[in-house]
Amino acid sequence: MRTGGQGERRRPWGRDHAGKQNTPARVAPAMTTPNTIGIIGAGHIGSQVARAVIAAGYDVVIANSRGPETLTDLVAELGPKARAATAEDAGTAGEVVVVTVPLHALDSIPVEPLAGKIVLDTNNYYYERDGRIDDLDQGETTTSQMLQEHLPTSKVVKAFNHIPFGDITTDTAPAGSPNRRALAVSSDFPEAVEFAVRLYDELGFDAVDVSPLSESWRVERDRPAYVVRQTAAELRENLAAANRLP
């Protein structure tokens, strides 16, 4: 039997972080602002997140699977605030790290360099690309819980997984703008939620919190909130309408 959706328990999905007008429901410990973001994965999303966070003032250390020498053109385009590295080095250099690789590559993400750090997880499950993963097919885990298990001492937060890569730098607006696009965050760690919400706001997005990670299926592929443009109110509705299995 399918679970979730209209008939299941109705939590007010999710907590509203639209603009800066609402106070987060959970009290998160204060965190300092990182200067350097490590990005593991330099494809559509990795390169676009790099463009966005560099424009917001961060430094970036970015990696792919083939080695830094293959990222010369991207780094030249990104400018002096970016450098290419191995995944290990990008993980070490980043005070916060973005993991944005195909799901089938999660096991190769270096663990030790990411220990204790906030890790933004953009990953989605495409069985056509990643192969069948029974626990996902049966609704027994989520993609972000898989990364959290792989990185047991990191603070994984699902982010940027339900926006087409091009929109990250184009569909942005200042806080408080009517019709501002909203993106979901989900984590087992309040400080990771706090960071992602703040980063979204800096880049031009509202945020809706669908924590903990065990609830992050609500924003996975083929759910109503997946890759559609939505405001915070619309995103909350779509999260509430999601079924546990698509």
**CA within 13 Å, CB half, 206:** 27
Backbone angles phi, psi at 5, to 5 degrees: 70, -155
Question: Is 114 one of the binding residues for ligand NAP (CB under 6 A)?
Answer: no
Tokens linked to 18: 């639209």
Choose, by CB under 6 A, the member of 102, 139, 212, 246 that binds ligand NAP. 102
**Minimum Å distance from CB 180 to ligand NAP?**
19
**Closest-CA residue to 148 (of 121, 127, 126):** 121
Question: Is 230 one of the binding residues for ligand NAP (CB under 6 A)?
Answer: no
**Residue 105 or 175: which CB sits closer to ligand NAP?**
105
Please work out the total of residues on this chain that contact ligand NAP, with binding judged by CB under 6 A: 25
**CA within 13 Å, CB half, 205:** 29
Site for ligand NAP in 5-64 (CB under 6 A): 40-46, 63-64
Residue nearest to ligand NAP (CB): 43
Q: What span, in angstroms and rounded, lies between the C-alpha atoms of 105 and 40?
A: 11
Stretch in the footprint of ligand NAP (CB under 6 A) among 117-125, 133-141, 177-185, 235-243: 117-125
Element (DSSP H or E) covering residue 239: helix 232-241
**Residue 124 or 187: which CB sits closer to ligand NAP?**
124
Question: Is 216 one of the binding residues for ligand NAP (CB under 6 A)?
Answer: no
Q: What span, in angstroms and rounded, lies between the C-alpha atoms of 36 and 24?
A: 25
- Binding residues for ligand NAP (CB under 6 A): 40-46, 63-66, 87, 100-103, 105, 108, 122-124, 126, 161, 164-165
